[in-house]
Structure 1
Amino acid sequence: MKAAQEDQYLEFVGARAKALYRSAYVLAAGDSHLAEDLVQETLSRVYVHWKKVSRADSPAAYAQTVLVRTFLTLKRRGSTGERPTGNLPDSAARGTDTALRLTLLDALGQLPPRDRAVLLLRYWEGHSIEETARMLKLSSSAVRSQGTRALARARALLGDSLSDLVPQH
């Protein structure tokens, strides 16, 4: 890769890596290690095709699409080769909404991967139905119906527990 292209790529990574990580974290239902792996895989794939990606209308949307497809492929394969451990972190997550965040991530983790991807793209990232359909290679009507079903599943999983965690003003 030429120096100018490499500089463009590094600038892109600096601008988009955090947003990609946030999306990956939601897709991975709070598994920070999986989220990091997804971002690393996404950025390496973008790097390989950077000449083409840099000429795209939206390199950020291209990278987001690669991230979601990488996640779905990983879930279809069923195994990452990682082994669970009994070691727990030394401290709890920081933030005032820790219980709410953990509850939401737990519910998302129970949804099928494609449902999680639709919810992430539509409601977390704010993509339109058409953009989401293009990213997931689905029809717009499939995104609408899958989004509706995914929201219903998430609500059923959350039940009344979510209202207990949201501060009342």
Structure 2
Amino acid sequence: MRDFDDFVTGRSAALLRFAYLLTGDRHLAEDLTQEALVRVHRRWHAIVGEDGPEPYVRRAILRQYLSWRRRRASTERPIASPPDGPADLADLAERVVDADEMWTALRALPRSQRAVVVLRYYEDLPDAEIARLLGCAPATVRVHAFHALHRLRSVLTPAFSHPLPFRGDTS
């Protein structure tokens, strides 16, 4: 099982980031990642593919996230204290407001739409691959992305400094 140990050591940070983007919660992301790795460990020798084990693990994390059994038990959100230094405080406050606004908007999306946004814009996967991961048609992925981006654009303030582009936008 040395291969599994090497995989976990080398790729767990990336897998955790992926889970965090899906959940928006560090602890839940850790739980999802850990549970996926436990399940993969049981089948490690059976996981053979040209892409290696990482796509399989990411699919396991994604399935756990989309599962109805994984509902947030708490809405409490811990916030780190701002750094010392009055010069950075205004900039920090603006960044925190922007980040909070984005996370609030992402959390309001249905799970499938949020998964499409993460897979498309964080993982930079094509629609066909997202469809394969979600078990749906590429057209369904595009519909989820369209509705998710429309909803995010309508909720986020016009002053938000990082607009979300539609795929294929040239502006």
TM-score above 0.5, yes or no: yes
Counterpart position of 1:141: 139
Report the TM-score when normalising by structure 1. Answer: 0.79
Q: Tell me the equivalent position of 1:91.
A: 81
| Alignment correspondent of 2:99 | 101
Does residue 13 (structure 1) correspond to residue 13 (structure 2)? The answer is no
2:29 to 17, 23, 35: 35
How many residue pairs align between the two structures? 153
Letter in 2 for 1:91: S
Whether 2:18 is the aligned partner of 1:26: answer no
Letter in 2 for 1:37: D
Aligned match of 2:49 = 56
Pair 1:115 & 2:113 matched: yes
Shift of the 140–90 alpha-carbon distance from structure 1 to 2, 3 Å rule, reads closer
Segments of 5+ residues of structure 2 without an aligned counterpart are 84-91, 164-171
Partner of 1:3: none
Higher RCO by CA contacts (8 Å cutoff, separation 6 or greater): 1
**Residue pair 1:24, 1:38 contacting (<8 A) in 2 also:** yes
How many angstroms apart in 2 are the aligned matches of 1:36 and 1:11?
18
Structural RMSD (CA): 2.5
Q: Which whole-Å deviations, capped at 9, do the CAs of 1:144-166 have from their partners, x for residues lacking one?
A: 11111111111112132413x79
Give the letter for the 2:69 counterpart. Answer: R
Higher fraction of helix:
1
Could you say if the C-alpha distance between residues 36 and 125 of structure 1 is closer, same or farther in structure 2, counting changes exceeding 3 Å?
same
Q: State the SS of the aligned residue for 2:65.
A: helix
Name the TM-score, length of structure 2 as normaliser: 0.78
Aligned to 2:40: 46
User: Which runs of no fewer than 5 residues in structure 1 stay unpaired?
Assistant: 1-5
1:86-126 superposed Cα distances (whole Å, 9 cap, x missing partner): x9556359xx6544333322211111111110111111111
Alpha-carbon distance in structure 2 between the residues aligned to 1:35 and 1:62: 17
Percent identical pairs in the alignment equals 34
What is the identity, as a one-letter code, of the residue corresponding to 1:126?
A: D
